[in-house]
Structure 1
């Protein structure tokens, strides 16, 4: 229920933020309010803030109405610090601006930029940001700073706390402070002298208490994100330095960080990696103690169960197969900007652990591919546990840190506790140099006895780590709700009281992310547990980490894969709750649009998913389940009469093209939008890049004596859709492809009854699985016949179709998409001449799935002097014909495209429908890559 305060807050907020960016619908607030932790709070409203001014207004209104607010960036946090039952404010793509200054030694960045994107911007300068969390491809700067996330290489020397230069921050009442600006600091001191004086008083008290100051200093020698960054009171005297460093790791409980200036660190040019195998955990820990004295950048420990959990995965090294009991590995990396120095470092490192028992000699590898394989072992550990858990259970990953001298004993004690409480699938791994250990286990929160087991286990773990070994209960993942009840256990009453005073000083009304870090409920870690009911076999292993979200084309318009799964789980939970049935019909109707209709089903989400879930496949299955008998009958008829339907589409395209020529773009555009409105969005939206009708494919005479033959299957899209009205090149794709093949000396063969053939993708993507498979079988048989059972290669001009054909066609067929065909078959027949052009290329989602992005870049570079591959433009969102029915999906997916290709001459891709959407939103005309290859090739002399 909304309180009167929330209602008043909402009503006033409408004066500052458009209604379409404030969500109150039950399904949306559930989906948008979910983070990667195993906790769930459902917000009363979710707000998308797009500027600093909007955030300040939110804070002022929250203060006025005493409404709690939680800020969230990517939602990859694991400890429950990114959720709210009040107002959740999301920081999205509008917050991705950055500046590189002072010879790239300073990086000024907003909180919405993904961590790896920051490093990509700095890479040309040989620099990077210090933090390197495992979630860096998804986590955003705001979360990285607010949680003081570290990672595998940054240790305690290069985290956000240590590399922070300055910060723009806002307090609970909307007061803004820029710590790099003297005028801002003076204004802040005039408005909030109690904060400046209060921080000075707290520092003086700490420095006057030797026991407390020494405790703080000691605890931050190892990784520690439990509680607040009390080291700020020891490390700095300037109250503004204290304040901005307290903000690091505060998890949004002290203020909002709107901009950070990092001191960047060097990214070494050369790296070497090895996977050293030891007969026991003790030997690996002894080696770690020696390695701490050596020039190593990372030492990752993996226990026996960790190694076994990934030993059967593709690409894993032979050394982790058939390992003996107790086997423990260390993944060791060393780096340098000088290759000779690197070789000397390797020799020194190997020598330092020569006296310690090992299962095989330690050999470092410099090959980036092999090194990536070693790191794949480490990165595959968390998902390995998630993939084998029972449906309905969650995966918990905890991270503790021991003082280095206690690391071996601490690991052994933790192993004993895992066995004591029967967490048999648990694995342990971690950043051994820092005494940081992660342990991963599965937990069922649906059974009271299981919750009790978890409680007793965590009580014992916390007592052991905090009291027995004086370690950190949270080394990297933040306190959150998960460890809030144990902060005082780790720090003691005096330090915990100090933390409470800091919270009260900076957030006197407890409005900022309440319940996180400071929480009086001793059972806070056992409440608001997230239910994970079975929803669909394809996605039941989802751990809701959110790693899929940056690559999803619908992320900024409707739901992401994580949100599709989260909300489907809720719908299934409600189905089993008699008292909730009244909600279901409305929620399913909303789900149809937010999750099913606007999913591009491109499958790219599985390329980022730790447990390899393809949410697109789930959506296709749901479309199939929801298809009516009439729709299925229609699909059957279309499949049987495909050529007739294709001719009907061509006739419609001819009519639309004629109307476009007669009435012009402005009239057509206005009329199309009017029809869209009056039809309640049922009529697909015409756009100015709508293709004209393709011309019939003319037979090509074949010289039977020429052995160089290729079967060409133009996709049904290519056979139907010609160039747009304004395209200066009026040649259809099939004509252009045949022209290129003939120039290369090929005899071109077409399958029989080609106008009735389809790969089945057009059916399968809409959920008509049986019809799609029937069309696939029909095409496979036709291609086998014309290719003489696979004697001749088969070329398809459309990547999405070829991708499906690879899965469904007879394996005797040798199938080529345009990229592989041009790279593998044409260089021996044609000379490539680089054209003086700057061209943009778009790898379709299926090109990415087939690992053809680099080959596409290579091919384009063979043809043009300058090639642009836009950053972070993945699936275009057109999704076959979905771009006509749901144009908002295509528009949102390509929002970043225009500014990246604005100075290009031409643009190319490998799917005609994708090219429609790309042309519409880029200002360029996109064509099939075959056009560029034809322009850039000549017959060999």
Structure 2
């Protein structure tokens, strides 16, 4: 369809009547950043509209209709086929789309589209239930995308996906109509207002059901996994046109309407499970086993070819049996589950009986040990990132998914391997959900060279020929049609069925404005357009595959940029610089959005498939941005560190004096006024600003079991807040608790001048930071009797920094870890009645101390609450003073979760505790204070 280009200036003006200008994104940096999803396509939107409720969705759609502007809906942007990008209007989910309501004792759950899939399962865990779809990206993808793509996964097959488990939905159609298919009044109104639409759907369904050939073809196509084109099975599975409409929305990829809420029928989540890695001499024998296991009580069977195993066999923690295998060896990772231990045992016995009829290289050995089967599943989950991490800079990783009838799986896998080699994709690996005949094949591709694009085009043509004409399979099994298979829909489905899909599109989106180019496209080369470049940017981030898994961890996501968006933007700036193109405006915008508002907390690396810590790039760029004068100041501060800390204590003391005389609120108001007058140049000082710490190195008391205690800079400088009932400094309380537990504390000599370097590193002064860390290492080495004694640090960020810097040279222990493991067993806390809040900060999370922090709190308080949707606090050392908007955004969900009568919040980083206290309006302290209070 040829369109007249919309007047986006007029559209933008129109949109200002729908929503605040602050949520209409038009600057070139963020438009570029939002023009990226997990696929290998890029389109840069003209406008990004961050909608927060159904009224705004309807308003944006109305404005787009008036101006003839296409619009694309986006949830998490983890889709792999280009469904979530647009060169027109991109509608993204803002806050307010995260409601999850569990009903009927967990048998049903009502979800808004912004809920992350894993969060829905957390809500259902208490009922031993889960949602049916289980995509590999469930920790990051959102319900809107899961439903719109009919995403499945390793266990749900074709029986528990969104199509099979949807009960009702609230949806907004292209004409702006809102209908709730689970609400009788809404349904009645819709049947009256849209009688013609429903009549035409009814007629479509009748015609298809009356055509035995076409109906049979549809049933055959959906007997295996299939997300190619629309869910035509809705026309044969249902007779009520409203049910047809509901199920057509599943897998429609935002081309038919907006899913504002979906109610799922949930499925059991069995507590008992066991897994085994089975090795077969060749693909044929492995597939014989798959056919046999199809009738066995298994919950998942994952096939991995020899190339798959080879790409992970040398990774840490991989089992020895996958190394050095002969070519052709194929593995099956099998999982069984049971409602009880006895049921699991019975299932394993039946599986063993089935496997006795096939040949394995080693006897099947199932394990129900969580660590052991977790290790086995790391093999499967590590395949995609393993290939992504070793690809050539400038190339992208493509993961395609197809499905074959299970009886053809062996031959189809062999043919697919042959095609990969024929076209020079020698690095390609093949793996997938074998029970469903669903294979993923992953390979690397350079889209910056025309010859390489042509090679890809020839390859995909032959893949389509193989899947469709030789095996009558699905070109898309679970990743959605998207842009890359839209031109092949007619090849798979035939003229009649494809014409039916175009009729559905025309009926529900007559203007063709909803996500054009996705799912259906008459241009046979559309899948070769708008390919995303991945130019070299920095060795710290060049392995990024732009999947978006990092975004849920980032405190600035939704305020400025996420880690993925920072990398995307820096790649474009680097590309322009290398090509001598002007990048001044992007660099100017990146200074604030990319650098200044990055917490550099490192949590993104914990969710990244290839382990990228985007904060390292940010700190490197901060260092490059600093002039020689700033580096000189950093070196001076390092050499005179004790004096710098004394000056900080003096400043805190002065602020505390004002707070005592005028009151904390008045002091904070004065600081706020001064910050406004200075244009943001002075720091934000809140009501919970610390007093000056009363620090004096305690005398060593080596009478007990000796342990080195290093009081960190913040602990030596910042005392409790003015209004906090606790008055002792952290070093005083820590020393007291350790002594109570029978430990003799050793303090390093010259502690006043020592620092781990964290403060310098966060500013980009890496050389100065490492020099301070080396200085601290020497002092700790001496204090610990050449490394014989454990070294306890009272700030988790500093403990993580020194653990990373030292490696195995010295035994550094986080205070949370030491208090939980060593001190708590020697003490007898009396749990207090008053509830407490617990914040597991970034340093503690990166060390895996979540359970120990919460365990300490629960040992000392009858009610310990970890607030939901509160990750990194965004205070980021001193960002809470200089860029308080980051702290405000990160903790926007905290205040409503403070329980009545809450005594305080507890964590293990003094600076984090400042921002947390300001937003919760209760004191926050180190967790050691709670242990001290309850063991006196």
> Aligned with 1:677: secondary structure?
helix
Answer yes or no: is the 8 Å Cα contact 1:2–1:44 preserved in 2.
no
> Aligned with 2:499: secondary structure?
helix
Determine the C-alpha separation between the residues in 2 that align with 1:83 and 1:359: 46
Name the structure 2 match of 1:907.
Answer: 905
Name the structure 1 match of 2:364.
Answer: 362
> Aligned with 2:292: secondary structure?
helix
Name the structure 2 match of 1:417.
Answer: 419
- Please give the per-residue CA displacement for 1:637-661, whole angstroms capped at 9, x wherever unaligned: 1111111111111111111111222
Determine the C-alpha separation between the residues in 1 that align with 2:836 and 2:672: 32
Say if 2:795 is the partner of 1:798. yes
Alignment map for 1:426-825 (pairs within 5 Å): 426-578=428-580, 580-581=581-582, 584-700=583-699, 702=701, 706=703, 708-809=705-806, 811-825=808-822
Determine the C-alpha separation between the residues in 1 that align with 2:291 and 2:806: 56
Determine the C-alpha separation between the residues in 2 that align with 1:107 and 1:749: 55
Name the structure 1 match of 2:75.
Answer: 73
Alignment map for 1:212-291 (pairs within 5 Å): 212-291=214-293
Answer yes or no: is the 8 Å Cα contact 2:700–2:746 preserved in 1.
no
- Please give the per-residue CA displacement for 1:167-208, whole angstroms capped at 9, x wherever unaligned: 111111211111122322232233333311111111122122
- Among 25, 31, 34, the alignment partner of 1:32 is 34
Name the structure 1 match of 2:933.
Answer: 935
Q: Summarize the Cα distance change of 1:810–1:171 in structure 2 as closer, same or farther, 3 Å threshold.
A: closer
Deviation for aligned residue 1:354? 0.9
Name the structure 1 match of 2:168.
Answer: 166
Alignment map for 1:266-415 (pairs within 5 Å): 266-415=268-417
- Among 802, 808, 833, the alignment partner of 1:836 is 833
Determine the C-alpha separation between the residues in 2 that align with 1:517 and 1:325: 38
Stretches of structure 2 that go unaligned for 5 or more consecutive residues are none
Determine the C-alpha separation between the residues in 2 that align with 1:531 and 1:771: 36
Answer yes or no: is the 8 Å Cα contact 1:445–1:529 preserved in 2.
yes
Determine the C-alpha separation between the residues in 2 that align with 1:822 and 1:185: 58
Q: Summarize the Cα distance change of 1:124–1:707 in structure 2 as closer, same or farther, 3 Å threshold.
A: closer
Q: Summarize the Cα distance change of 1:885–1:796 in structure 2 as closer, same or farther, 3 Å threshold.
A: same
Determine the C-alpha separation between the residues in 2 that align with 1:365 and 1:741: 40
Q: Summarize the Cα distance change of 1:180–1:638 in structure 2 as closer, same or farther, 3 Å threshold.
A: same
Answer yes or no: is the 8 Å Cα contact 1:45–1:88 preserved in 2.
yes
> Aligned with 1:908: secondary structure?
strand
Deviation for aligned residue 1:478? 0.4
Comparing 171-180 with 189-198, which one deviates more in the overlay?
Answer: 189-198
Determine the C-alpha separation between the residues in 2 that align with 1:286 and 1:127: 32
Q: Summarize the Cα distance change of 1:707–1:654 in structure 2 as closer, same or farther, 3 Å threshold.
A: closer
Answer yes or no: is the 8 Å Cα contact 1:761–1:804 preserved in 2.
yes
Name the structure 2 match of 1:921.
Answer: 919
Answer yes or no: is the 8 Å Cα contact 1:877–1:883 preserved in 2.
yes
Deviation for aligned residue 1:674? 2.5
Comparing 31-40 with 314-323, which one deviates more in the overlay?
Answer: 314-323
Q: Summarize the Cα distance change of 1:401–1:639 in structure 2 as closer, same or farther, 3 Å threshold.
A: same
CA RMSD of aligned residues (A): 1.6
Determine the C-alpha separation between the residues in 1 that align with 2:326 and 2:344: 32
Deviation for aligned residue 1:682? 2.1
- Please give the per-residue CA displacement for 1:270-300, whole angstroms capped at 9, x wherever unaligned: 1121111111111100000000011111111
Q: Summarize the Cα distance change of 1:278–1:901 in structure 2 as closer, same or farther, 3 Å threshold.
A: farther
Determine the C-alpha separation between the residues in 1 that align with 2:697 and 2:383: 56
Comparing 374-383 with 193-202, which one deviates more in the overlay?
Answer: 193-202
Deviation for aligned residue 1:73? 0.2
Name the structure 1 match of 2:46.
Answer: 44
Determine the C-alpha separation between the residues in 2 that align with 1:23 and 1:3: 20
Answer yes or no: is the 8 Å Cα contact 1:689–1:916 preserved in 2.
yes
Deviation for aligned residue 1:2? 12
Determine the C-alpha separation between the residues in 2 that align with 1:417 and 1:404: 20
> Aligned with 1:93: secondary structure?
coil
- Please give the per-residue CA displacement for 1:900-922, whole angstroms capped at 9, x wherever unaligned: 33243332111100110111112
Comparing 334-343 with 233-242, which one deviates more in the overlay?
Answer: 334-343
Determine the C-alpha separation between the residues in 2 that align with 1:2 and 1:875: 46
Answer yes or no: is the 8 Å Cα contact 1:444–1:450 preserved in 2.
yes
Deviation for aligned residue 1:827? 4.4
- Please give the per-residue CA displacement for 1:494-524, whole angstroms capped at 9, x wherever unaligned: 0000000000000001000011111111111
Comparing 96-105 with 110-119, which one deviates more in the overlay?
Answer: 96-105
> Aligned with 2:219: secondary structure?
helix
Determine the C-alpha separation between the residues in 2 that align with 1:364 and 1:222: 28
Determine the C-alpha separation between the residues in 1 that align with 2:94 and 2:300: 32
Answer yes or no: is the 8 Å Cα contact 2:6–2:68 preserved in 1.
no
Stretches of structure 1 that go unaligned for 5 or more consecutive residues are none
> Aligned with 1:335: secondary structure?
strand
Deviation for aligned residue 1:12? 1.6
Deviation for aligned residue 1:209? 1.5
Deviation for aligned residue 1:709? 2.5
Answer yes or no: is the 8 Å Cα contact 2:229–2:519 preserved in 1.
yes
